[in-house]
Amino acid sequence: MQIREVKPGRPRGAKTFESAPAIAFGSTVRELRLGAGLSQEDLASRALVERSHMGKIERGEHLPNLVMILRIARALGCSSGYLLDQVEAKLT
């Protein structure tokens, strides 16, 4: 049995990665973070995630799961619905 290499930003077993939603989510998080006057490190700390991981999210290299989206929204002081509405607006 051959072991496959796991690429950054992809869950085990994932074969594809849609970059447009990841980029839209990341840029939205960055805009809201800067608007709130937070550093990337502060946001990461509030969302209980490593700063380097938050950087990957903001650059669109990683699309977070639902739990992470909820944590990020709470850390930004907004609802997850508002956060995702902003992302959706960028995709249309």
Whole-structure pTM value: 0.82
Q: Taking each helix axis as running N to C, give the angle between helix 19-35 and helix 66-76, from 0 to 180 degrees, rounded to the nearest 10.
A: 20
Q: Which residue would you say has higher pLDDT here, 7 or 49?
A: 49
How is the chain split into domains, by residue range?
Answer: 19-91
> Sign of the CA dihedral 50, 54, 57, 63?
positive
Domain 19-91 top-level CATH class: mainly alpha
- Indicate whether 10 pLDDT > 80: no
Q: Determine if residue 63 is left, alpha or beta; phi over 0 gives left, psi from -120 to 50 gives alpha, anything else beta.
A: beta
Q: What is the pLDDT of residues 38-81, one digit of tens each?
A: 999 999 999 999 999 999 999 999 999 999 999 999 999 999 99
